[in-house]
């Protein structure tokens, strides 16, 4: 009888520990997602400066402003509380369009491209994009860790009985993975 009680207590403690690890892994992934969103929103600090610089180049301005507006709206739609990798992919696509369009304009107009302000903005954009990329890498690792914790034995037993958490999606930029010829044989 005492042995049965000890076994029951050990099983209950193990279940609680495994459950708490699942929740901790989910919270880690959520925090990593929040960091991605924060870095994405920091890109908005650069956008008004880009618009101001291109004001003198009227034929470029309307197309650029449309792209900037679309980017701002997409960034505003990102939600720290809801993991939506498709929305993030849209932001990344629009972000690349805005910043490559700006870079092309700076190259087309030597007087614009040669200014110190443009070079500083290009460096700032590059830094912000690197921060986003690093945050996405951390997010993807957190997702992998969480997904492993709900799919591997004995965690999957605790998850299916108590936590009932669904796997999260990793983020990958469209066109990056698809462009590789090699496909691993998982």
pLDDT in tens, 80-116: 889 999 999 999 999 888 888 777 777 777 666 667 7
Residue 6 forms part of a structural domain: yes
Residue 13 forms part of a structural domain: yes
Is the CB of residue 150 less than 8 Å from the CB of residue 22?
yes
Domain that holds residue 67: 2-163
- Between CA 23 and CA 28, with CA 25 as vertex, the angle to 5 degrees is 110
pLDDT in tens, 106-148: 777 766 666 777 778 888 888 998 999 999 999 999 999 999 9
- Length of the chain equals 186
- Domain CATH number, residue 71: 1.20.1440
Q: Say what angle helices 116-151 and 85-108 make with each other, to 10 degrees.
A: 160
Dist. CA 92–CA 128, nearest whole Å: 12
Distance spanning both ends of the chain, measured CA to CA:
48
Dist. CA 169–CA 175, nearest whole Å: 17
Give the residue-averaged pLDDT of 167-178. Answer: 75
Residue 17 forms part of a structural domain: yes
Q: What is the DSSP letter of 115?
A: S
Residue 176 forms part of a structural domain: no
What pLDDT, on the 0 to 100 scale, is given for residue 22? 97
Please report where in the chains the tokens 């509380």 appear, as a residue: 81
- Which residue, among 137, 147, 141, 148, has the nearest Cα to 173 in the 3D structure? 137
Number of structural domains (the chain) is 1
pLDDT in tens, 8-18: 999 999 999 99
Residue 65 forms part of a structural domain: yes
State both tokens at 119. Answer: 């070079």
Residue 68 forms part of a structural domain: yes
- For the entire predicted model, the pTM comes to 0.82
């Amino acid at each position: 009888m005492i042995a049965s009680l000890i076994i029951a207590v050990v099983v209950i403690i193990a279940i609680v520990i495994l459950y708490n690890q699942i929740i901790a892994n989910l919270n880690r992934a959520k925090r990593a997602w929040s960091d991605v969103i924060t870095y994405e929103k920091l890109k908005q600090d650069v956008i008004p400066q880009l618009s101001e610089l291109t004001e003198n180049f009227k034929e470029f301005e309307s197309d650029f402003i449309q792209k900037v507006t679309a980017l701002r709206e997409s960034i505003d739609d990102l939600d720290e509380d809801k993991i939506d990798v498709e929305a993030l992919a849209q932001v990344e696509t629009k972000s690349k369009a805005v910043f490559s369009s700006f870079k092309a304009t700076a190259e087309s107009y030597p007087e614009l491209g040669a200014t110190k302000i443009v070079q500083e903005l290009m460096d700032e954009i590059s830094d912000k994009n690197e921060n986003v990329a690093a945050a996405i890498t951390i997010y993807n690792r957190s997702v992998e860790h969480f997904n492993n914790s709900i799919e591997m034995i004995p965690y999957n037993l605790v998850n299916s009985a108590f936590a009932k958490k669904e796997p999260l999606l990793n983020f990958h930029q469209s066109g990056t993975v698809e462009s590789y010829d090699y496909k691993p044989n998982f």
